[in-house]
Structure 1
Amino acid sequence: MRKIIFTLFAATALTFAIGTSDTEASTYTVKPGDTLWKIASSNNISVNQLLTWNKLSSNSIYPKQSLKVAAVSAPAATPTKTSAPKTSASSASTYTVKAGDTLSHIARIHSTSVSSIQQLNKLSGSNIRPGQKLTVSGKAQATAPATVVKAPAAAPAVSKTSTYRVVSGDTLTNIAKRYGMSVSQLMSSNGLKTSTIRVGQTLKVDGTSVSKQPVTVSNPVAAPSTSGKVSSVVSIANSFLGTPYKWGGAAPGGFDCSGFIYYVYNQAGITVPRTNTTGLDAISSTVSSPQVGDLVFFKNTYRAGISHVGIYIGNNSFLHAGGAKVQITSMNDSYWGKHFDSYQRLNVMK
């Protein structure tokens, strides 16, 4: 009798263990120091997939948290219809780069990772050019063909019209210059009868010239001397070009300048606290010769003292959440140039 009971117990335990291993294969337990970007890269998925599958409204995670790292429906479909996804993937396993594309954007629309695309195409950095053909993961492409078709159509929609929130020191002249418009165009678009504007006022601006900025200056972003984490910072930051400016925002739905720094650096595996520009200034040290990935601080914009921050990306340009959206701006810009304070490096980067 004891022998029979033991046999039944052993069989039950074995069945339970097998079932558990299947479940664990699609989940991941967060460890201290983990970020969504790090978890997504190690599981060959995108940050957006992690956010969607786990119904996360921000990038905040905590140790011992259980995260889904695979679609629930994927395991059931694979054993019975293996040939169907392969056919779909083989017929569309390449992607032609379009103006404004970044590796992060391409990875997201094909539900794969930046590192996977870099390995498949033997890319050492994040530089890509319009017209370039890239091999993408066929496995993920089969699950989201509709996204691949629709994603390029979203970019032109942003370029038609955008908005800009007036900050202290702004004039119609410098706002018009920043967006490639004339003062008369700016006044006409906003029904202004005089040149008087007020801090906090929202103005309609021509987004065309802004949307073209990434195409002309984002290619020289990767610097040979930068580390892997710094390259990730730039790649991740580029993927959010055009994201709306949102006061206090620190997630993909909208960023303010310090929230953008917090999100991008933490996604790249560099721990930065959620603080304001003054706080970031306090944990950084001034450098005379900036490198890609260093911070650029500005002063006396909407308030006195250090009041704005961006990421230096080389070619005398910086990437920041400013004006109406995340964008790339020249250090020679008539507005930002006169408010420049210093180049600084986060102390954790030393």
Structure 2
Amino acid sequence: MNNKWKIVLTGVTFSLALFIAPDAQASTYTVKHGDTLTKIAKAHNTTINQLKQWNKLSQDRIFIAQKLVVTPAKVVTPAKSAVSTVSKSPAVTKAATATTKTKTTAVSVVEEKVESPQNALSHTVMKGDNLTKIAKKYSISVASIKQLNNLKSDAIKVGQKLTISQQSTKDLAIEAPSAKTVEAEINFNQTADEAIEKQLKKEVALPGKVSQQTVRLYGQAIQAANAVLGTPYKYGGTTVDGFDCSGFVNYIFNSVGVQMDRKSSLMYFEQDTTKVAQPVPGDLVFFKNTFIPTISHMGIYLGNNEFIHAGSKGITISNIGEKYWSERFVAYKRLNNLK
């Protein structure tokens, strides 16, 4: 808030106290298709950690139509008295200033309930519709439609009204990306599963057995992984201060002498690994659709259907048979430089 007081003084010493009303409003941003915390942070000149703190996010996952605080509320306290002495010139006009203290407070944001506001963009299910078809039509992911409508499965029925976006159609027209961008995003959503299948089909499955040297390395890797159980999740993390999923795998294998460049789960899946006929403890396991509709998560297989990975709660052991993981499981694979 910019307060300027113009004061005409006739040669006296005047004590002025400014009281500025608190500005309790925070700036918010509504997540759109294709957004990430990195992209939003750059656009609003802030950091991912600040966004997560202001919005009480425990992980980097966001969803379409979610409101995020991008500038926290500022509370300006009353200023201390400022003494301004003005010379004896008649009708002298001068802006009086005061020293103020500004306190920045984090604003708690509660996730919006999945409801359909009157101005929301929606779709009424027709005969022949399914979530994949609807998602393609509106350039949105199936996961986002399910999130917006609180769907526990892919089942929908004729006549059902689905929220597609919580922005008005007017806003969508104003904020619509270029045709080229839309085409690229639609193409990505349409071909994500096809690309995964294509990658796996061109690979020749490796045998279930590995060399004694790899058995030894795998044993060391699993031991190193268990040693960091409980380490917190950290986006982009590759150290014991915090890991993300690919950063964790990168750290573990490099620590036992297996060279791995820092890459994403998708890049490891496509560039550095080959599918296996039968996994052995130490092989890698890949998942899709954890937050984007392609390969988006990985971990180290431990045997007995278990794997160790960097999840939202940090380094933990999970079971691939659990509903969440079984629905997203893609393949077991092995690093190309191991035999």
- TM (norm. structure 2) is 0.39
Q: Which has the higher helix share?
A: 1
Question: Over alpha carbons, which structure has the higher Rg?
Answer: 2
Q: TM-score, normalised by structure 1?
A: 0.38
> Greater strand percent: which structure?
2
